[in-house]
Amino acid sequence: MKVIAITNQKGGVGKSTTAYNVGAGLTRKGLKVLLVDADPLGDLSTMAGYRELSEEDLQLYDVLHGKPMSEAIHKTEEVEIVPSDDFLSIAEIDLVNESRHVLRDALKGLQEQYDYVIIDCPPSLNVLTYDALVASDGVIIPCQADYLPLKGVARLRHTIEEVKAKFNPGLEVMGIVVTRYNDRRRLDQTVRESLERGFSGKLYETTIPENKALAEAPGAGQSIFVFSPRSKGAKHYKALVDEILEKGEG
């Protein structure tokens, strides 16, 4: 089982969209995939069709407080997911004085059930992100083709190195995917070139374009592959999934 954190401390870069569509894309390849929503905003859960969780629905908050992960897994027509909502933000306070192994320990019982676990992290370098990085084998970083997200990637690299040194020596950056990319804009090309220089060999060839269907799919609770299978968004996310698998990093 390979655990992959999808993270960038800058919001609005397509982080949850990438987590959901990579997870759905891997599932469509016949692989067993579990999505874990570690973001209190709950965008990944919304994409999976969970607009509102009831008190009876176990979620990641309950897992971080001792409930078995297996009891919090929800199944939809497309994916299997451990959902979250804003209640998870309370866990940030509760976990401050805990070890950084809570999420990693919760995943141990699923080793034989899944090929991949995809964790959608918060858009900040907080306790939940730290726990996700400690639990992960690799990191995929979505980065919008703009200067502010580019700065965030540089800070994130420092955090990843810190987690490697203190808690998880096997953690590696699997790749960076440029999102909302327009190859006709000079800025987009410049940002991509900067990422290539800063993370030599780690930049995915596949870029994710601005795409109306990608923006609309979450409202339908569907992956781009179901919502608009012939769209540019579906084509590019399929290519990204293929690239991840071809490199043997997913």
More confident residue, 191 or 37: 37
Which tokens is 93 given? Answer: 């306070």
CA geometry: angle at 243 spanning 11 and 241, to 5°? 60
- pLDDT tens per residue across span 79-130: 999 999 888 888 766 666 666 688 999 999 898 999 999 999 998 888 899 9
Handedness of CA 28, 72, 49, 215 (dihedral sign): negative
Q: Which residue carries 């991840």 as its tokens?
A: 244
Q: Which of 5-14, 22-31, 142-151, 159-168 has the lowest mean pLDDT?
A: 142-151
| Residue whose C-alpha is closest to residue 21's, from 51, 41, 39, 43 | 43
The residues that bridge with 177 in the sheet, in sequence order, are: 142
- pLDDT tens per residue across span 211-235: 899 999 998 999 999 999 999 999 9
- pLDDT tens per residue across span 147-195: 666 677 778 888 899 999 999 999 999 999 999 888 888 888 888 888 8
Helix 186-198 / helix 147-166 crossing angle, nearest 10 deg: 20
Provide the 8-state DSSP code for 181: B
Q: Work out the percent of the chain whose per-residue pLDDT is above 90.
A: 62
CA geometry: angle at 172 spanning 25 and 204, to 5°? 50
Q: Which of 14-18, 47-51, 149-153, 174-178 has the lowest mean pLDDT?
A: 149-153
CB atoms within 10 A of CB 74: 18
Query: Which helix (DSSP H) or strand (DSSP E) does residue 186 occupy?
Result: helix 186-198
**Span 2-246: which CATH code?**
3.40.50.300
Rg (C-alpha) for the chain, rounded Å, is: 17
Helix (H, G, I), strand (E, B) or coil at 110: helix
| Residue whose C-alpha is closest to residue 142's, from 222, 74, 30, 43 | 43
Average pLDDT over the chain, rounded to whole?
89
Which tokens is 44 given? Answer: 């990944």
Whether the pTM exceeds 0.85: the reply is yes
